[in-house]
Chains A and B, each alone.
Chain A
Amino acid sequence: MTDKQDKKLHGTYAEFDAVDTLLAACARVRDAGYTKTDAFTPFPVHGIDKALGIKPTRLPWIALICGATGTCIAVAMQVWMNTINYPYIISGKPFFSMPAFIPVSFELTILLASFGAFFGMLVLNGLPKFSNPIFTDPRFDRATDDKFFLYIDAADDRYDRAGVTKFLEELGGGYTQDVYDDDSSTSSPKAIWVVLGSVIFLSMIPLLLVARMRVTTSSQPRFHVFFDMDFSPAKDAQMTSSLFADGRAMRTDVPGTVAIGQFDEDLDFYTGIDFDALTRREPVRAAHLVRAIADEESDDAETAATDESIETADEPTDAAAEPEAAEPEVTGAPEVEDDTPWLEKNPLPITMAVLERGRMQFDIYCATCHGNNGRGAGLVHRRAQRILAGAWVQPSSLHQDTLYADVYPDGKMFSTISNGIRKMAGYSSQINARDRWAVVAYVRALQASQNATLDDLPVDKRDEIRKLQAEVKQRLEEQAEAERLKAEQAAAEKAEAEAEAEAEAANGEAQAAESSD
């Protein structure tokens, strides 16, 4: 042992034959006041932490705090994203909807709690530790086999080499051994560095390739790893297919197909055009339209009719024919008289039920752009303004002279809803014909509501409105009064502050003058 004298002493351990002697020895060592101790056994021994006087671990607290942090981060992140930074309606849920946040919060809680437990365990155990001087003694290997070891660290305040050795022997340690520095080489084998270096180098190659590709152009087509994800094999509308003789991917309805609930309605109902009048005035055009509908064997009669009607209505003049085209660049074109004999009157009976239905459909399909009040400032428009969308054109207000019933017949409005106009798409595929008529009825009611006078109301409701008007007026006056007072007060304060500042400035000048004297 003499050659070890110049090496650092780490501690002393003793070997025991049985777990009971070890446990008894542990308790004695603990009672003797040693705190920097450790025991090594081939299998877990219950109660050894108590015998060694090891304090309960702080790990649960670390895991708890990390878990709670995870919950807070997840909730805060989702609330910020979904309700503040990018409020976006998903599945019609509110921006702040806790149930949707819970799965992510739950996962992040678990993730951070596990990280806390795992990394906390490593830190508390001082891991990773690649070597321990105690491993230098081959006899210690039996700690994984059939022997039990008790170790007292030299860093312990009560450590004294001779005393500890004697004490351990007294406790029944059959063999005691001092632990010195590991005298094997401290430098790692060269092979490790070579392998590690090669792995790092090789792993850079894909990154470098990606980096290079990002700054160079290529004449080769892009490589598609998942071809059918980039190009869905499903067919879209208007695509061709070699499967069918006519080459159309989209199959049309079986001849004679009539959609549910649309069996015994007439042409007028689906087009908004008075066909009797049209036949009288322009038999060729009417016949053309009717033939188009009749000949359209495979397509839905309704779509054919409406397609044709928009074609005939707008044919001579394109979009500029529409007089209500509010966009200046469009109205600049010469206006052409729209001579289509539109239905003047809504074919549906105007009942509360129809209006309610119309309102529901309007609020679902129209209000997002036109706004619930029809003034053209719906949610989509407001968002477009907020994000400063360049190509955005404000949806038309439905409350303009050109859109009232006297110049814009119900049938024409029906056709507009069905086939769209300018940037607005047609809604015939989303809203069925009956509901489109209901929307027309509701829009008329909406227009009436914006220009109504008290006399339009039933007698028994007028007082109620008068009272509301008075209240609103009073509130507005109060507000104006309050604002005026506030403005006056602010002005007075400002004047006062200015006066003070002037006084101070004058004072300062005077002082300056004095000091310069």
Chain B
Amino acid sequence: MSEHTHKTKPADDPSFRLPASLGNLAIPLAIGGAVLLVVGVLIGLMAGPGEGIGPQRFTMSAYLVAFTYCFSISLGCLFFVLIQHLCRAGWSVVVRRVAEILMLAIPALAILFLPILFASWSSQGVLYAWGYEGYAESHGVPGEIWTEKVRYLSSDWFTVRSIVYLVLLSGLAVYYFKLSRRQDETGEVTLTERMQARSGPAVMVFSLVTTFAAFDWLMSLAPMWFSTMFGVYIFAGSILAAHCAIAMVTYLLQAKGAIREEVTVEHYHDLGKFMFGFVTFWTYISFSQFLLIWYGNIPEETHWFYTRLQGPWESISYGLIFFHWLFPFLGLLSRHVRRRPTLVFAWAIYLLLMHFIDIYWIVMPEVGPSLGGAGGVLATLLLTSGMIGLYAGGILWYTRVNQVRVLAVRDPRLPESLAFENI
């Protein structure tokens, strides 16, 4: 099978390392990101909309958008890694390390979660309205219902839960990253077996944590609203963003000279298929959530969508249908698009942008009926770009300093992945 065998390069081949041109971006990106983040916060506090705690509330919400955006990408990557082990996937070995590096940002992002945690302690309801002591009276919520609500939505209990989520997710990320890296040196097959055996329970932990984290961190922004599908909705966006991020990072690595021969058009084709599939999955889930609420037409459920169909949010809501679903759906439908890495790369960037709009649309309407004016929009964009800069810079810095390979060089399934072909 001469056509199917690939000459395996030695494990310390330079093309398996992070290209220097990317590694050198680490410090500028991180510093630039931190500066933008600070500037964004200052602009938000000064030019944000509203009276009293209004600007603080706006800025914290924008910060939550930025945090959720980066966190959801890493979260999706963690799931990508778990699911590849769970189904003993062969094709994905050449891109799995990219996902592993991205998911390792979860422990670092846990530190960036601290401002959100502090904000949740505010008795003014700076970020989460349920923290405000007068919420029930000012929103006409019956006292006995509110008493039950705040049993769960109290800042102490919220803090405990958030720490549990972050510890569990960080633990999974670090565990899988460490084992995969150890295999780079030793090549033990038992490591793969161990990772596979633990991926089943890990996926269960992951899905519970994701669901409840989505409830706590995002859904509780509207304390009286509930949708059991909300966790899946956040997961759908995350896993889509993860596939896009993996395709984008792989393309950039190849453009700078790394893993050029290892990742082929076949792998892009598969990533493209998953992007296409998860675009549809996201739509399926978000529409299912909408349809039930729309049909039931009960005020306590519809108000979440009602808020998002007022003023500028209305055009964003309709925009999501066309630009988060229809446009990429038609664009990624053809095999010819998915077999052109440059097009897959372009669609990945486009969908990552749409993922931001999605998160923005989930969080910001709870702050107020407007986008927050020019200052507010600028603050949101600066905060998000700052967070992305910090996120990307941190990942590059860690990869460079620790000499992390960008390919799982001794994975027992690497030859299978190298020889992978779509029929």
Contact = CB atoms under 8 A, between A and B. Distances in A.
Interface string B187-230: 00000000000000000000000000000000000000000000
A19 B2 CA distance: 10
A46 B264 CA distance: 15
B2 A20 contact: yes
A102 interface: yes
Contacts of A93: 295
A240 to B, nearest CB: 37
Contact of B291 (A19, A44, A47, A99): A99
Contacts of B2: 20
Nearest to B290: A99
Contacts of B295: 91, 93, 99-100
A89 to B, nearest CB: 13
B118 interface: no
Nearest to A56: B335
A102 B333 CA distance: 20
B322 interface: no
B3 interface: yes
A100 B291 CA distance: 8
A283 interface: no
Contact of A23 (B3, B294, B297): B3
Contact of A103 (B3, B291, B421, B423): B291
Interface string B1-28: 1111000000000000000000000000
Contacts of A102: 287, 291
Interface in A87-140: 91-93, 99-100, 102-103
Given A46-B423, A91-B297, A99-B291, A60 B4 contact: no
B3 A20 contact: yes
A274 B291 CA distance: 52
For the side of the interface on B, what is the size category?
Answer: 10 to 19
B1 A20 contact: yes
A20 B287 CA distance: 50
Nearest to A103: B291
Interface in B264-296: 287, 290-291, 294-295
A91 B423 CA distance: 49
A65 B297 CA distance: 36
Q: Which of B3, B297, B333, B421 has its CB near the most chain A CB atoms (within 10 A)?
A: B3
A412 B161 CA distance: 63
Given A60-B335, A91-B297, A92-B297, A46 B4 contact: yes
A19 B294 contact: no
Contacts of B421: 46-47
A20 B3 CA distance: 8
Nearest to A90: B295
Given A46-B421, A46-B423, A60-B335, A99 B3 contact: no
Contacts of B291: 99, 102-103
Interface string A38-61: 000000101100000000000010
A47 B335 contact: no
Contacts of A103: 291
B1 A19 contact: yes
Given A44-B423, A46-B421, A99 B4 contact: no
Contact of B294 (A44, A46, A60, A99): A99
A100 B297 CA distance: 13
A100 B333 CA distance: 25
Nearest to B336: A56
Interface string A10-45: 000000000110010000000000000000000010
Q: Which of A46, A91, A93, A99 has its CB near the most chain B CB atoms (within 10 A)?
A: A46
Contacts of A44: 423
Nearest to B296: A91
A99 B1 CA distance: 53
A438 B423 CA distance: 73
A23 B4 CA distance: 12
Q: Which of B1, B290, B335 has its CB near the most chain A CB atoms (within 10 A)?
A: B1
Contacts of A100: 295
Contacts of B3: 20, 23, 47
Contacts of B423: 44, 46
Nearest to B421: A46
A64 B333 CA distance: 10
A91 B293 CA distance: 12
Contacts of A46: 4, 421, 423
Contacts of B333: 64
A44 B423 CA distance: 9
A47 B419 CA distance: 12
B321 to A, nearest CB: 10
B264 to A, nearest CB: 12
B110 to A, nearest CB: 39
Contacts of A20: 1-3
A348 B290 CA distance: 42
A245 B256 CA distance: 89
Interface in A224-242: none
A253 to B, nearest CB: 25
A99 B302 CA distance: 14
A91 B421 CA distance: 51
A102 B290 CA distance: 12
Contacts of A91: 295, 297
Nearest to A102: B287
Nearest to B2: A20
Interface string B396-423: 0000000000000000000000000101
Contacts of B287: 99, 102
Nearest to B419: A46
A243 to B, nearest CB: 35
B309 to A, nearest CB: 12
A46 B335 CA distance: 17
Contacts of B297: 91-92
A102 B297 CA distance: 17
Contacts of B335: 60
Interface in B327-349: 333, 335
Contacts of A23: 3
Nearest to B287: A102
Interface string B246-268: 00000000000000000000000
A102 B321 CA distance: 13
Interface in A281-312: none
A467 B294 CA distance: 42
Interface string B290-316: 110011010000000000000000000
Q: Which of B2, B295, B335 has its CB near the most chain A CB atoms (within 10 A)?
A: B295
Contacts of A92: 297
A100 B421 CA distance: 41
Contacts of A60: 335
Nearest to A46: B421
A472 B167 CA distance: 73
Contacts of A19: 1
Contacts of A47: 3, 421
Nearest to B288: A103
A99 B291 CA distance: 7
A93 B287 CA distance: 17
A46 B297 CA distance: 53
B299 to A, nearest CB: 13
Interface of A: 19-20, 23, 44, 46-47, 60, 64, 91-93, 99-100, 102-103
Given A92-B297, A93-B295, A99-B291, 12 more contacts: A19-B1, A20-B1, A20-B2, A20-B3, A23-B3, A46-B421, A46-B423, A64-B333, A99-B294, A99-B295, A102-B287, A102-B291
21 contacts: A19-B1, A20-B1, A20-B2, A23-B3, A44-B423, A46-B4, A46-B423, A47-B3, A47-B421, A60-B335, A64-B333, A91-B295, A93-B295, A99-B287, A99-B290, A99-B291, A99-B294, A99-B295, A100-B295, A102-B287, A102-B291
Interface of B: 1-4, 287, 290-291, 294-295, 297, 333, 335, 421, 423
10 cross-chain pairs, A with B, having the tightest CB-CB distances, nearest first: A46-B421, A99-B294, A99-B291, A20-B2, A91-B295, A44-B423, A20-B1, A102-B287, A19-B1, A47-B3
